Chain A
Amino acid sequence: MSEKFDCIVVGAGPAGISCAYELAKAGVKVLLLERGEYPGSKNVMGGVLYRKMMEDVIPEFWKEAPLERPVVEQRFMMLDKESAVTFGYKGMEWGQEPYNNFTVLRAKFDQWFAGKAVEQGALLVNETVVLECIVENGKVVGVRTDRPDGDLYADVVVLADGVNSLLAKSLGFHKEFRPDEVALATMEIIKLDKKTIEDRFNLEENQGTTIELFGDATKGILGTGFLYTNKDTLSIGVGSLLSGLIKHKIKPYELLEYVKNHPMIRPFIAGGEPVEYLAHMIPEGGYHSMPKVAGNGVLVVGDAAQLVNAIHREGSNLAMTSGQLAAETVLLAKEREDYSEHTLNHYRSRLMSSFVGQDMKKYKDSTHHFDKFPQYFDKYIPMMNKAASQMFTVDGSSKWEKQKKIWKDVGTAGEKLKLARDAYRAWKVMK
């Protein structure tokens, strides 16, 4: 016996759950398949949940969702070996409704979010791996799972199977990703007393800080680190492009140990007990790595569609919006009773005209640019630290002399020109 659904969503992460939620709400018979023990059990992110896109799916979710802390402060640390240039913003407006973003622990949050989709009428089946899409006459008509009598049929299948998206790959939507298209992030959850966290990060109750780490956090190779405050844990992690790890022969967990022992970071986590260790791939190839996102009877959303804005460490929000847009498109197709690529391609145009597509385009060359020119991370950040040290050290020399010295330290005329050129280039890829 094989049952037919209107829609099967493969993967219960932010993209898949958003899609299933919207469809169930509209009365569509939707099945959500998850390979983990429960939604969230295999999902990883640093931990920032963006309010706006989540609110688009579930208004006022902060009243009941399992959130850690609303983020009232964002800091950015440009690390050298024994120093850091830090800037950031803290504002009380982020600490009250409607909030800006929150730290979350995915194992709890995704489970809750999937529960909301089930409340709307989505059917959730866990611990089930989808082996392949069932294709008949050039159209995806269902999925084959690893369970006995595991073939399931649907008018449309939404692939939300995450970064590697073996399903989209087997449909020929993308090739195996190159090491410079994916990052590998490792992170730890460190248990620390609530009060200690609030003291160390200068927070009051129900306030959180995010710190993004650049430069020496990744030993100068392209990547970033992060340190986020949860209720009574800290999330600390570091991620960098696979290509960088391979080139510098660095093991991902070595990077994490390195950042945990960095003199600028060590005091934050001192005395904490690691309670969880996680690692995951992040699609960072950007716009150029995006696969085909719509085919006959099939749509691709979230990480599976490579929807990550690496520069702004955004991903879950892009995923949610893509899931919603996919749901809207499925509803359109249902109305037209046409699940061909022609109709489903509306998803692509909706996606590309939304902030998701706009941001993917805006930063289309940024990862590649910073990967190609390592000097931003291994040279200019240390330079910035030295300049700050020079400028703020009171040693009797005049500020004018100091400026001259800083400018001299940049190097030869050729190197100065290179700095100017790199600054222009960086502006160009980010503008």
Chain B
Amino acid sequence: MLHIVACIKQVPDTKIIKMNPKTNTMDRASAPAILNPYDAHAVEEAVRLKKRYGGTVSVLTMGPPPAVKAIRKCIEIGADEGYMISDRAFAGADTLATSYALTKAIEKISKIKPVDLIICGKMTIDGDTGQVGPGIARRLDMPPLTSVNKVEEINQQEGYAVVHRKLEDGYEVIQSTMPCLMSVEKEINDVPYSSMTNMLKAARYQPIIWAVADLEGIDRVQLGLKGSPTIVSKVWAPTKPSGGTMLEGDPGEQAEKLLNVLLEKKELFTVKGGDNS
């Protein structure tokens, strides 16, 4: 029986978030908090593996009390248990401090039930770094399998997993020992409309919440702002692309003009590793 832990985060919906034009920071109040979309796929994959091989899915998050909502969303998707670490001491954490805190929580979860597999989303949409997953893997000394877009096989008895990793020009199939950590791409699965049974379970669900004091052997210096060496030197909103050219004429003429433009700028479309450079 597998025990899979999915690491998730509640994020502001960056599709609609507004930037403060003066400070160039995100106006977090301007967008609703949602479950990080990549993490929904991570939880869904965990739930699918549970259905395939049997087992338990736990989700873990670090966040302020309202992040309970994101855990409930995971229960809707089909997770069995939700853990949340919430404490002022965690505030202001960068990816280094976050992966440290989550690792400590996973160690505690492992004592309740040994963990076979950790699944993370590829990255969060508010940070876009994709570093927390590999950070946890390194700290737990597990193989980090990033950019996974298919789980071919999990063999718990033999202790290995076979996955597809997305590459820029294809994919690679790799076999890893278990336990391991995967961070998954969006295309790994579709998150279906949740069943009423899960909706009711989620509506009632109260996650297990731990503060710093509940985590054993934790080094407070490595937490939160204190444990975060990252310095954000500048944040800016990308300028919206403008201009562009409208191709006029009947469809035939337009196609010809387009072809000319493409041929003119062919260096932009050169395939890596190809011989047409």
Contacts and interface: CB of A to CB of B under 8 A. Distances in A.
A295 to B, nearest CB: 24
B194 interface: yes
Contacts of B195: 147-150
Interface stretch (B20-28, B48-56, B183-191, B196-204): B196-204
Nearest to A151: B196
Contact of B199 (A1, A2, A128, A151): A128
Nearest to B195: A148
The size class of the interface chain A forms with chain B is 10 to 19
A125 B200 contact: yes
A120 to B, nearest CB: 14
B203 A149 contact: no
A147 B193 contact: yes
Interface string A189-206: 000000000000000000
B204 A149 contact: no
Most chain B beta-carbon contacts within 10 A, residue among A124, A145, A149: A149
A231 to B, nearest CB: 13
B204 A152 contact: no
A426 interface: no
Interface string A127-156: 010000000000000000111111110000
A2 B196 CA distance: 9
Contacts of B203: 123-125
Contacts of B199: 125, 128, 147
A31 B203 CA distance: 10
A308 to B, nearest CB: 30
Contacts, number: 32
Contacts of A128: 196, 199
A401 interface: no
Most chain B beta-carbon contacts within 10 A, residue among A124, A147, A151: A147
B200 A148 contact: no
Interface of A is mostly: loop
A375 B168 CA distance: 71
Nearest to B69: A38
A239 to B, nearest CB: 28
Nearest to B202: A125
B204 A150 contact: no
B188 to A, nearest CB: 21
Given A125-B199, A128-B199, A148 B193 contact: yes
Nearest to A5: B200
A149 B194 CA distance: 10
Nearest to A148: B195
Interface string A324-364: 00000000000000000000000000000000000000000
A123 B196 contact: no
A3 interface: yes
Contacts of A2: 196
A19 B153 CA distance: 51
Most chain A beta-carbon contacts within 10 A, residue among B196, B200, B204: B196
Contacts of B204: 123
B196 A145 contact: yes
B54 to A, nearest CB: 20
Contacts of B200: 3, 31, 123, 125
Nearest to A3: B200
A235 B197 CA distance: 40
B130 to A, nearest CB: 28
Interface in B112-141: none
A245 B199 CA distance: 41
B74 to A, nearest CB: 15
A388 to B, nearest CB: 45
B268 to A, nearest CB: 38
A125 B75 CA distance: 13
Nearest to B30: A275
Interface string A228-249: 0000000000000000000000
A208 to B, nearest CB: 22
Interface string A253-270: 000000000000000000
Nearest to A122: B203
B223 to A, nearest CB: 31
A186 B214 CA distance: 52
Contacts of B197: 1, 149
Interface in A91-148: 123-125, 128, 145-148
Contacts of B193: 146-148
Interface in A215-230: none
B224 to A, nearest CB: 29
Interface string A26-65: 0000010000000000000000000000000000000000
A3 B193 CA distance: 19
Interface string A147-184: 11111100000000000000000000000000000000
A19 to B, nearest CB: 17
Most chain A beta-carbon contacts within 10 A, residue among B195, B199, B204: B199
Contacts of A152: 196
Contacts of A31: 200
Interface in B37-89: none
Kindly list the 9 A-B residue pairs having the minimum CB-CB distance in the complex, ordered from nearest.
A148-B195, A150-B196, A147-B196, A125-B199, A123-B203, A149-B195, A149-B196, A125-B203, A149-B197
Given A148-B195, A149-B197, 9 more contacts: A2-B196, A125-B196, A125-B199, A128-B199, A145-B196, A147-B193, A147-B195, A148-B196, A151-B196
25 contacts: A1-B197, A2-B196, A3-B200, A31-B200, A123-B200, A123-B203, A123-B204, A124-B203, A125-B196, A125-B199, A125-B203, A128-B196, A128-B199, A145-B196, A147-B193, A147-B194, A147-B195, A147-B196, A147-B199, A148-B193, A148-B194, A148-B196, A149-B195, A149-B196, A149-B197
